[in-house]
Amino acid sequence: MNSKQKEILMRKRYSAEKRFKFFGIFSISLAILFLCILLFNIFTSGLSAFFKTKLILKINFDEKKLGINMNTPDEAIKASNFNEILQDALLNLDLLAPDLKKIELIDIVSIDATYELKRFYLQNKDQLNKIVEISLTLSDDLDQLYKGNFPRDIPEDRRRFSDFQLKVFDEQNSQNKIITEFNFSFFKNADSREPELAGIGASLIGSLLTILVCLILSFPIGFLAAIYLEEFAPKNKITEIIEINVNNLAAVPSIVFGLLGLGVFLNYFYLPRSTPLVGGLVLALMTLPRIIIPCRAALKAVSPSIREGALALGASKVQAVMHNVVPLALPGTLSGTIIGLSQALGETAPLILIGMVAFINVVPTYPIDPSAVLPVQVYLWSESAERGFVEKTSATIIILIFFLVLMNSSAIYLRNKFEKKWS
């Protein structure tokens, strides 16, 4: 080969390398671009759900209208009606409103406003017979208008608030009576038919309980199964069949596990429907192979010389594995488990089948209380017609992504922490 041929060969090699690099960078940029579009989309439509719009009203806590006095016990206050003083305050916004429009005035605030007043009074009983300025949640239609999620130039018959309500709203806005505050109730409340009241409290707790049940079941079982299969099981036809089936199970569509849960846990064992207990059981079945596989890989990656070293000291096989192999396999095991659980956290289909798609308006306390989960809540709200649910859907996705990122980064953190320790 002369120098000219050599030069051509080298040039070809360089350009091939450049081409390869270019394709690599191109694919990564494309992936990052799509990720950015997704995140931008979700955040722009979801962030406003973390705030709620309120109207400042002058409320007269008149003891005659409330039918209570300073000595009324809390129970009686809870039973009394705060609607009248609320309506008085709302009607005061426009004293000249014709009778027909009065109902529109009352509809400016959320139906929860009367309970907000009651809660306020229960904590400030000294305000009886005084006139107090209190901020009350606006109805979701005006909330969406204020946040700019709903265009105001749409003809009256095609929007959910009237011209009269719009006029009153603008008046109040120009007097700085409309304020925005952080939406704590979004994290505390359960689902509701009223978007301004709907929150992810129930689905957050539900997801937490479900994942907890899933973790308690799937981690010990999966981990021990992996240790037995990898370290102790004889290598024969039966273990081979088990291994193939574990791998196959990891690839089974999740909805199939939902059907299994429906058939076995609900219809045969009569476990309570739509509860974190059953959800966790179903997800544990689904997560088991996804834990066994990385755990086995982590155990396999431990150098056999560690096992031999312990055995040569006269350790039993169980001692050799538990004292020396498992600590080295721990980082891989933990990160595999966490990633398996984060997949379970985002799972929707199997939970719908066991009834976790029900409308739950109470925050659950125990794993046997009916509850919702975050991904199913996203699914439910994405189907709702009201404007207010659009931002709630995106906000729930943000929370879900937050937990996924949290779990995955803790997996990376644990892996690095333990790996550094022994190398």
Partner 1 sequence: MINEKIKISTKNLNVFYASKQALFDININLKENKVTALIGPSGCGKSTFIRCLNRMNDVIDICKVEGSIKIDGDEINKKNLDVNLIREKVGMVFQKPNPFPKSIYDNVAYGPRIHGLAENRESLDNIVENSLKKAALWDEVKDRLNQPGTGLSGGQQQRLCIARTISINPEVILMDEPCSALDPIATAKIEELIDELKETYTIVIVTHSMSQAARVSNDTGFFHLGKILEFNSTEKIFKNPDNKLTQDYITGRFG
Binding site for partner 1 (CB under 8 A): 234-235, 303, 305-316, 319, 323-324, 327-328, 421-423
Of residues 315 and 407, the one with the C-beta less far from partner 1:
315
Residues 6+ away with beta carbon under 8 Å from 412: 335
Strand 51-60 vs strand 131-137: parallel, antiparallel, or unpaired?
A: antiparallel
Of residues 47 and 306, the one with the C-beta less far from partner 1:
306
Least separation in angstroms between CB 392 and partner 1: 48
Least separation in angstroms between CB 304 and partner 1: 9
Instruction: With beta carbons less than 8 A apart as the criterion, state whether 407 and 338 touch.
Output: yes
Of residues 73 and 314, the one with the C-beta less far from partner 1:
314
Least separation in angstroms between CB 229 and partner 1: 15
Of residues 324 and 342, the one with the C-beta less far from partner 1:
324
Of residues 17 and 308, the one with the C-beta less far from partner 1:
308
Of residues 273 and 307, the one with the C-beta less far from partner 1:
307
Least separation in angstroms between CB 412 and partner 1: 20
Least separation in angstroms between CB 330 and partner 1: 9
Least separation in angstroms between CB 356 and partner 1: 42
Residues 6+ away with beta carbon under 8 Å from 322: none
Least separation in angstroms between CB 318 and partner 1: 11
Of residues 166 and 306, the one with the C-beta less far from partner 1:
306
Least separation in angstroms between CB 377 and partner 1: 43
Of residues 4 and 420, the one with the C-beta less far from partner 1:
420
54 bridge partner residues:
137, 179
CA distances from 227 to 39, 147, 272, 297, 300 (A): 39, 55, 33, 10, 10
Sheet of 131-137, strand order: 131-137, 51-60, 178-182
Give me the phi and psi of 320, to 5 degrees please. -60, -45
Least separation in angstroms between CB 292 and partner 1: 22
Of residues 102 and 307, the one with the C-beta less far from partner 1:
307
Least separation in angstroms between CB 320 and partner 1: 10
Residue 74 burial (CB count, 10 A): 9
Least separation in angstroms between CB 329 and partner 1: 10
Of residues 35 and 313, the one with the C-beta less far from partner 1:
313
Of residues 255 and 306, the one with the C-beta less far from partner 1:
306
